[in-house]
Chain A
Amino acid sequence: MEIRPEVVEGSVASVDARRRWTRGGRKQERLPGEARRIAYVYIAPAFILYAAFNLVPLVQGVNISFYNWDGITPGTWAGVSNYGDFFTDPLIREGYVHVLQLMIFYAFLPIVLGLFLAALLSRIRIRGLTAFRLVLFLPLVITDVATAVAWTWVYDVNGPLSTFLRAVGLGSLVPAQGWLGSFNTALPAVGVFGLWGAFGFCLILFLAGVMKIPASLYEAARVDGANAIHEFFAVTVPGLRYELQVVLVLSLIDTLGTFDEIYVMTSGGPGTATSVPAYLVWRRMFQTAQVGSAAALGITLMLIIFAVTWAANKLMDRWSDDE
């Protein structure tokens, strides 16, 4: 590939003169006939739409978050008290604790399991992999409202899980109100739903990634005397670090925004046993008329997502650098 022209400092005179300057002494040479300003025309429609409905509301949201507002009557100034609630309001704290717990099911477990299984399965050529891929992707592809409904049935008092446990004599484990209706089991139940959804994706992604690791690395390791476990940590895991990084960040962000399944399966309950920040936002907007707080919750969630993304990336980059 040709070198791209870089920004030049200082002046360059030419016979025809009239090169363009920009402030600060940085200059980009214009190629003859190059499309420049027309780029704005190309970008404008998308940008206008995006700015109007994503960026502007962000600013508006920050504004709203400084008020106590019920959505109907004029709001009263609240300063940063809505944000202070993050530390004082037990409901909000609880919501975040729940997503943290859900992260185990939505992010860490699927990744670990997917990694492990991908390493196991990579040793052979798998025929019919396409069919397996199709099936393993289904949980993630199908509308999660529909899959949540399916799992609601699974968790029903007389549903498959309970029936199976009763059949093997563990019927005492089945809570009377169903798995989703019992304080202790509701959140883990949602978690298992998330695990079910994410696992197939992780497995396929890592399997694809493992195929790309050159066999010579494994052979070298074997010659060096590594057994399967050594190979896993020395070759497989490092070889998958990009996939790992991406999946980790994406799944953490996804978990923080969990909403659909909570709404369908538990409505945040029983009580508030499965409340999550996104659900809280919705509740405060439409049920408890705490609009300002809802806005603040949304902004806070966004900031936390930023922080998690940054931290996860930093961590992964550092791990990659230590190679």
Chain B
Amino acid sequence: MADVTYASVRKEFGDVVALQDFSLQIADGEFVVLVGPSGSGKTTALRLLAGLEAISQGEILVGDRVVNRVAPQDRDIAMVFQDYALYPQMTVYDNLAFGLKMRKIPKPEIKQRVEHAAELLDIGELLERKPRALSGGQRQRVALGRALVREPAAFLMDEPLSNLDAKLRVQTRSEIKQLQRQVGTTTVYVTHDQVEAMTMGDRVAVMNNGLLEQIGDTRTVYEHPANVFVAGFIGSPGMAFTTVDASRNGGPTTLSGGGVSLAIDPSGATEPLPREVTIGIRPEHAHVWRAGGDLMGPVEGTVTFVEMLGREALVGVQLGDGQRFTVFADADARTAIGDRLSFGVERGRLYLFDPTDEHALGVV
């Protein structure tokens, strides 16, 4: 039971920089998810913590101990692998017991720990079976169990759900979260699935190209994304963007260009707005334009697709500048591809970004 610290960690593979100046403090008992597309460095960060790769620069601490040069088996961590990595010739019991046996833990205690974990994970009946006789979901639990019995300072999980089918994934997600709450072990969890990240993490670390784009709890990351990448990555369907001119000819600030024509109240911005601004709109905050409604707009474009969702429909709208947005509409709105459509944004849900370095300028 300990906290985990990354201090300015950098990792190079030859000419490739996999992780740049990565700093993160994970509190004892916290469930932190590292999320990002492939190549973002999230798995590298996890493997550095595990000791499966060597750090190029910086420090990693488990508790108060700098573990840079410490062998994986001595770091007091346990890992759940994406392909489970169960020992194929051993029974489930032996798989669970192996790490304990290597640490010379007395047999009775091994038995107790294994059975306790088996109970928690509901795999008690599988103890005598071999991995090849188990289903994917069962193997996954055994992999979890192997980490559990070690009672380590931290759990490291490398996309443990990606080999499960969608339904099982959703189910297991909450089970893992519950388990972690019960056991209270610090957990570092890697995934590329932002839905998984948002449902499981106490805090979410969004990564891209070896950089930590933003770290925060789920609400912050969703409502106050630090930059275009985080804004576009979190949320599904994702936020859409376009760049417009911001002008205030003595009057209210207007954003215009490419079909956009909005008046906004810039007081929500964190900085004075530059002349060009990138705006971002989440589909859930975009609705078909109605004059007199409480929306900001209008934004005009042509319908490119209509996707029926039951009571509502997702409508794809392409603006004059080619940028595409997604809008929620009523199912019986009779929108057809090729129609002209105007939509608006809920107040306080228009995100502004600096077009040059993409950092967030606030939300209006």
A and B touch in the complex (CB under 8 A): yes
Chain A: residues with CB nearer than 8 A to chain B? 2-3, 5-8, 12-16, 29-34
Contact of A12 among B53, B57, B72 (CB under 8 A): B57
Compute how far the CA of A267 lies from the CA of B14 in the bound complex, rounded to whole angstroms.
Answer: 61
Which of B62-70, B94-102, B161-169, B269-277 binds A? Answer: B62-70
CB within 8 Å for A33 and B70 given contacts A12-B56, A13-B57, A15-B59: yes
CB within 8 Å for A30 and B66 given contacts A6-B13, A8-B14: no
A-B CB proximity, top 9 nearest: A33-B71, A6-B14, A29-B54, A32-B71, A32-B51, A31-B54, A12-B56, A32-B69, A14-B57
**Which residues of B, 34-74, contact A by the 8 Å Cβ criterion?**
43, 47, 51-59, 66-74
Residue pairs across A and B with CB atoms within 8 Å: the count is 55
Compute how far the CA of A16 lies from the CA of B59 in the bound complex, rounded to whole angstroms.
Answer: 9
Q: Is the CB of A33 within 8 A of B57?
A: no
- The verdict on B294 contacting chain A, using a C-beta distance below 8 Å, is no
Q: Is the CB of B57 within 8 A of A32?
A: no
Residues of A within 8 A of B12 (CB): 8, 12
Q: Is the CB of B53 within 8 A of A5?
A: yes
Q: Is the CB of A32 within 8 A of B72?
A: yes
Residues of B within 8 A of A31 (CB): 51-54
- Sample of 18 further A-B pairs with CB below 8 A, known A5-B54, A15-B66: A2-B53, A3-B13, A6-B14, A12-B12, A12-B57, A14-B55, A14-B56, A14-B58, A15-B57, A15-B59, A15-B68, A16-B69, A29-B54, A31-B51, A32-B67, A32-B68, A32-B69, A33-B71
Q: Is the CB of A33 within 8 A of B51?
A: yes
- How would residues 1 to 37 of chain B score, 1 for a CB under 8 Å from any chain A CB and 0 otherwise? 0000000000011101000000000000000000000
**What are 11 A-B pairs at a CB distance below 8 A?**
A2-B43, A3-B16, A5-B53, A6-B13, A14-B58, A15-B57, A16-B59, A16-B68, A32-B69, A33-B51, A33-B73
CB within 8 Å for A30 and B54 given contacts A8-B14, A15-B68, A16-B68: yes
Q: Nearest Cβ in chain B — how far from A75, in angstroms?
A: 55
Compute how far the CA of A7 lies from the CA of B73 in the bound complex, rounded to whole angstroms.
Answer: 25
Residues of B within 8 A of A32 (CB): 51, 54, 67-72
Residues of B within 8 A of A8 (CB): 12, 14
Residues of A within 8 A of B43 (CB): 2
- Among A15, A16, A32, find the residue whose CB has the most chain B CB atoms closer than 10 A: A32
Question: Which residue of A has the minimal Cβ distance to B7?
Answer: A15
Compute how far the CA of A12 lies from the CA of B66 in the bound complex, rounded to whole angstroms.
Answer: 19
Q: Is the CB of A2 within 8 A of B54?
A: no
Compute how far the CA of A6 lies from the CA of B72 in the bound complex, rounded to whole angstroms.
Answer: 20
Compute how far the CA of A225 lies from the CA of B208 in the bound complex, rounded to whole angstroms.
Answer: 52
Q: Nearest Cβ in chain A — how far from B51, in angstroms?
A: 5
